[in-house]
Amino acid sequence: MSNESKKFLKTLSKVEGLSVDDLYPKSIHQVEDTVVCMLKGDVDSLFALGSLALKFEGKAHNVDGIPYVIAPLTFKNGQVLRALFPFTKPIPVLHKQRSFGLGDRLGLATEGHARVFESYDAYPIFAQQSIRELALTHRTYEDVLDAASFSVFKVGFTRGFGADGDHLKKKKDIEYALSLGFTMITLDASDYIRNDVNGMTDEQVDQLVSLDEHHKERYLGKVIEIEKHNIEITEIELKRAILVYGKALAFTNDIYQTYFVNQKASANFELSIDETATPTTPIQHYFVAKELECYNVKLDTLAPRFCGEFQKGIDYIGDINQFEKELEIHAAIARHFGYKLSIHSGSDKFSIFTLIGKHTKGHFHVKTAGTNWLEAMHLVSIKSPTLYRSIHHYALSMFDEAQKFYHVTTDLTKIPNVDDLSDQDLPLLFKNNDARQVLHITYGFILNHKDDSGQFVFRNELFNLWKQESSTYSDLLYTHIGKHLELLYKGFNG
């Protein structure tokens, strides 16, 4: 402990009976003459001592003639913290060799996540939510940012992290995320991607598209060499690609020119074309990349829709040999155009992580989201079997409704009846893919379920439990996300 910290603790003891046990040990940070730390409490708060303490909103006092403030964890104080301690402010991380997104839906997971990234050099994106996730969890981007900033401050994670406005489709949402200093925008172009083209005959496609000279010149009658791969595009494949992606490309160009060209925003720019029924073939990936190059759009990452299925919260489903073959070409195309491949719905894809590490040569962005929610429910099954059982029943009852929003192939008959399981066996449900998916896709319903008098049925009890058991939650995440990283690194570390 530094002399400054010792002096700080000595002064602290003269303040409202506070002692070292009242604060998080790794949260003591100093800037100029001011020391700031985080105090434990039913609701945590910041404690700032020194001349800069007065920047925080909260009650101001004096000790030995030095001002101090006990500051609530508000957005305004978050902004002060981010200004005083740059490591609590998100940075663009997609240009780092490796990055990893962790959508912390509950605002409780960053402590556990941060422990993983003490041991791996990949840069984490601790703040990452889509607008749909915000709506279902009743959160705002202000909350999401604060949860990340306050957590890294609390645990002393100083290496830097990113903030991703995930799967944004509208200008107003992009502006919202950028205005708060989010350092990455994931543009979701899926509304402009045509899903009906795969079902069309060649004749139908042929009639709908007439090629201009630029398209012919760029693609037809040549072998395009990308590393060791030869890409050849036929006229009909080109026409199909134009039909499927043409509008999405124009939309991407519009967004890029509005917000990103000439470093207008310092945020990174990712294009996602994954949330669609149409898998991105390597040829189509090349087409999308080449067209964007012609528009002068510079991507930092691109998320194709790979072959096979990337369902929520479970391992990859599909032909792994075909996946590997296509991944190799996707990765080569990304390198050729100077961006990183982004792998979405990356939660729990254990059978392909090592291939991803290998073929991207360790240059990747992997995005996970719901798996930290599943670990939070896993915790409930361990610590509060009764609560778990009633949530489980409720989740099953809402499954049909929830299924409308997700593509899953859940078989409810494969889930054992929770009333027949002993308390000790309940956590085993988290090894059952069908149970995982039910709990995964019903998170919004579970968190928002209210009784007739308008009271939350599960929400408050859940948050109390999660807060009380935060160190077990952190352990679960450390193990579970750690497994993701371990396998990814195996692919390029040998």
The residues of the shown chain that bind Zn ion, judged by CB under 5 A, are: 272, 274, 344
Residue closer to Zn ion (CB basis): 82 or 344: 344
Catalytic pick from 166, 173, 300, 326? 166
- Closer to Zn ion by CB, 344 or 480: give it: 344
Residue 370 CB, nearest distance to Zn ion (Å)? Answer: 12
In the complex, the smallest distance separating the C-beta of residue 233 from Zn ion, rounded to whole angstroms, is 26
Residue with nearest beta carbon to Zn ion: 344
Least gap, CB of 400 to Zn ion (angstroms):
24
Nearer to Zn ion, 47 or 100 (CB): 100
Distance CA 26, CA 155 (A): 5
> Rounded to the nearest whole angstrom, what is the least distance from the CB of residue 299 to Zn ion in the complex?
15
Which CB atom, from 124 or from 160, has the smaller least distance to Zn ion?
A: 124
Residue 27 one-letter amino acid: S
**C-beta closer to Zn ion: residue 237 or 270:** 270
What does the H/E/C string look like for the chain? Answer: CCHHHHHHHHHHCCCCCCCHHHECHHHCEEECCEEEEEECCCCCEEEEECHHHHHCCCEEEEECCEEEEEEECCHHHHHHHHHHCHHHCCCCCCCCCEEEEECCCCCCCHHHHHHHHHHCCCEEEEEEEEHHHHHHHCCCHHHHHHHHHHHHHHHCCCCCCEEEEEEECCHHHHHHHHHCCCCEEEEECHHHCCCCHHHCCHHHHHHHCCCCHHHHHHHCCCCEEECCEEECCCHHHHHHHHHHHHHHHHHHHHHHHHHCHHHCCCCEEEEECCCCCCCCCHHHHHHHHHHHHHCCCCCCEEECCCCCECCCCCCCECCHHHHHHHHHHHHHHHHHHCCEEEECCCCCCCCCHHHHHHHCCCCEEEEECCHHHHHHHHHHHHHCHHHHHHHHHHHHHHHHHHHCCCCCCCCHHHCCCHHHCCHHHHHHHHHCHHHHHHHHHCHHHHHHCECCCCCECCHHHHHHHHHHCHHHHHHHHHHHHHHHHHHHHHHHHC
Give whichever of 154 and 367 is closer to Zn ion, judged by the CB atom.
367
Give which of 365, 182, 177, 146 is closest to 271, Cα–Cα: 365
**Would you say 113 or 344 has its CB closer to Zn ion?**
344
Nearer to Zn ion, 166 or 291 (CB): 166
Q: Which of 146, 188, 237, 270 is catalytic?
A: 270
What's the min distance (Å) between Cβ of 342 and Zn ion?
8
CB of 101 to Zn ion, least distance (A): 10
User: What residue type is 487 in one-letter code?
Assistant: L
Residue 166 C-beta: closest distance to Zn ion, Å: 8
* Residue 475 a catalytic site member: no
Q: What's the closest the beta carbon of residue 373 comes to Zn ion, in angstroms? A: 16
For this structure, is 166 an active site residue? yes
Could you list the active site residues?
166, 270
